[in-house]
Every structure is written in structure tokens, then in C-alpha cells.
Amino acid sequence: MIRTEEMILNVGPQHPSTHGVFRLVVKIDGEIITEAKPVIGYLHRGTEKLAENLQYTQIIPYTDRMDYLSSMTNNYILCHAVETMMGIQVPERADFLRVIAMELNRVASHLVAWGTYILDLGATSPFIYAFRDREMIINMLNELSGARLTFNYMRVGGVKWDAPEGWIEKVRDFVPYMRGQLKGFHDLVSGNEIFLDRVKGIGKYTKEDALHYSLSGPNLRCTGVKWDLRKDEPYSIYNRFEFDVPTSEEGDCLARYHLRLAEIEQSLNILEQAVEQFPAEGEIMAKVPKIIKAPKGEAFVRIESPRGEIGCYIASDGKKEPYRLKFRRPSFYNLQILPKLLKGENIANMIAILGAIDIVLGEVDG
């Protein structure tokens, strides 16, 4: 009589495909997963607690390190929250710079998601093509902010640096180039039989599940919910631009893959219009007091980061430090559905499903 037994497999914290220090304890029967338990917290730095002893401007570098693939949106959410509390009107030129920076960063973030996802599925080359194009964005943002990844670019009331000479033209030239590249990406991967075999119908969930698990971003839109805060609750100057919110009905890994590429396209549309309407001159900082003190009270704002809805809650007692700061970090919420999705799948699908959720561990652990 053959005796079989279940095996507990520890995937991570050091594993090539967990995108950082993420650990997944899976019970497997052969290669079939019967139970999965994510273990997080290896990258926890206590951003929210640290913030309680920091002035608002000092918190901005910490937000860079949460979702390190999309630091610009994180910068923005904090500044936006403080500006909302203090009622600061941001100058137009600063708003444009912010939007351009955020959309460039969104493209860069989705490129990383695309490249690493294909890498997870075993193809090595597309990863490098994605990073080549991302490098161009990183260089542009470097020229703008002086950093490649942790930009620390935005300030309460505006942005730190004005665009250097010729920078806007560079962004303008980048848009058609990236459109061409996107076509190449589709040609290279989207129609590949093996790729389709790996992602079609895998990691499927319904609209109800997505809403119950509080998913957001492409993870929500892949089930057909048309919800993008840039459109539904316009912040900054997003209401001035024409763009679509791509959705699809399938709710599987393939849908999420296609949505991310479609979102790059929409971001390029926004960039094109933003560069077109970019004001020739103007202030980049509003008049803000030297020491920023949010008035007594509380505020919650939310925006659309590449990974979903990022929110910031500030409770202030009128001092120069927040009394309590809380971030709604989309990766953390998106990750919740993972144990449900993994049940009954095999090891190869586990990697495909985890990759399609597109988590950033700095954000999951806060």
C-alpha cells in the first residue's frame, strides 16, 4: 500500500519569485496546493509610527520607501493629505509637473510589473526589454528630482525642483517611442501559446470576490468594475485630460496582464496632453508657512497608484507632527485574496497568480 502525505513547503522569504522578502507557507499534496498562508512583515519599518515624531516634510522620504516602484504617487498622497487639511492651492505648473512625474512613474511601475511577470513565467528576455525602457523613465525622473528611485520630489504646496531645460521635450519624445515599444511587447509575448497557456483562466475571481476582498487597481478592474480614482474622484488636474479606464470581464491573470499594458497606453495619452498643455512659466511652490502645521482635525484622501487605491489618513492636534498617520497601502489589501486563489492550484500556477497580483513588499509591510 502506497502511503502519501502532505508536505509543507516554505516558499520564501528567499525565493526568486516572491518579489522581495515575502514568505508563503503552502501545504502541498504532490504539486497541488491544499492550503496557503502568506507570512508578511519581513520588511516592516514602522513608517506610520515613525511619522508621529517627524515633521510633515520629513515624512516624505519615508513614503518613497513604501511602494518603491512608484514613489511619486506616494509622495503625492502625503502632500495631498496635508494640503487638503491646510487648504493650500497648488500652483498650476507644480500640478502639471506632479501629474507628469506620477504618470511617468506609473508607466515605469507597470513596465517592471510586466517584465518581472514574464520572468516569473520563465522567459528571460522580455524582462530586459522592459527594463531598458524603464531606464529611460528613471533617467528622466533622475534629471527632475536628483534620484533614480526614491525621488523625494514633492513638497507640501508644490514640488521641490522645476523641470530642467529641455526636459518637457524629452517627455514628449518618449511618448511615441514608448507606444512603439508597447506594440513590440504585444508582438513578443501577448500571442505566445505557452504564455497564454500559463495565464488564461488562471487565478480567476468574480466581481463580488474582488469587492469583498477590497481589491483595487488592475486587480479590481479585471473583473469589470470600472473604478479609477483619476476618473471617479478626480484629484490634482486629472479632470483636464481625456483618457479611458480600461476594464475587462474575465478576472484572470491574462486580463490583469492586458490591463497593465493598456494602462501604460492611457498614461501615455495623459502624458501627451499634459506636455501639450504645460504652462510656459509659473510658480512651482505655493505660499506655505515655514513650519507646516496641519490644523486640528482629521482628513482622509485617496488616489490611484499603479497598484490600486492608496489612501492617507492624518489625525492632527495642531502640532507640526501628525498625531496619527495611516496609509491605506493597496498591495497589502490586494494580497489578501491570495490564499483563496491558491487553493487547488499547482506550484507553477502559484507563481503566475502571485506575480499577476503585482505586490511591492515595501508597501505590503509598510
Q: Which residues bind another protein (CB under 8 A)?
A: 7, 9-10, 15-17, 31, 118-125, 128-129, 132, 189, 192, 194-195, 197-198, 346-351
Judged by CB, which is closer to another protein: 17, or 236? 17
Judged by CB, which is closer to another protein: 25, or 315? 25
Contact present, 230 and 255 (Cβ < 8 Å): no
Judged by CB, which is closer to another protein: 89, or 125? 125
Judged by CB, which is closer to another protein: 16, or 87? 16
Judged by CB, which is closer to another protein: 174, or 238? 174
Contact present, 91 and 158 (Cβ < 8 Å): yes
Sign of CA dihedral 212, 213, 218, 223: negative
Judged by CB, which is closer to another protein: 170, or 200? 200
- CB 285, min distance to another protein, A: 40
Q: DSSP letter for 187, please.
A: I
- CB 355, min distance to another protein, A: 9
**C-alpha cell read off for 72:** 511619486
- CB 196, min distance to another protein, A: 10
Contact present, 35 and 28 (Cβ < 8 Å): no
- CB 133, min distance to another protein, A: 11
Nearest to 330 by CA among 349, 357, 356: 357
- CB 37, min distance to another protein, A: 16
- CB 308, min distance to another protein, A: 24
- CB 38, min distance to another protein, A: 17
Judged by CB, which is closer to another protein: 286, or 348? 348
Q: Is 21 exposed, middle or buried (0-12, 13-18, 19+ CB in 10 A)?
A: middle
- CB 338, min distance to another protein, A: 16
DSSP-based three-state secondary structure for 239: helix
Please tell me the number of Cα atoms within 13 Å of 229 on its side-chain side.
Answer: 17
**C-alpha cell read off for 124:** 528571460
Judged by CB, which is closer to another protein: 175, or 348? 348
Judged by CB, which is closer to another protein: 198, or 258? 198
- CB 119, min distance to another protein, A: 7
**C-alpha cell read off for 149:** 528611485
DSSP-based three-state secondary structure for 113: helix
Judged by CB, which is closer to another protein: 229, or 351? 351
154 to 121, 158, 160, 170, 262: CA distances (angstroms): 36, 6, 6, 20, 27
**C-alpha cell read off for 66:** 513604501
- CB 30, min distance to another protein, A: 8
Contact present, 208 and 225 (Cβ < 8 Å): no
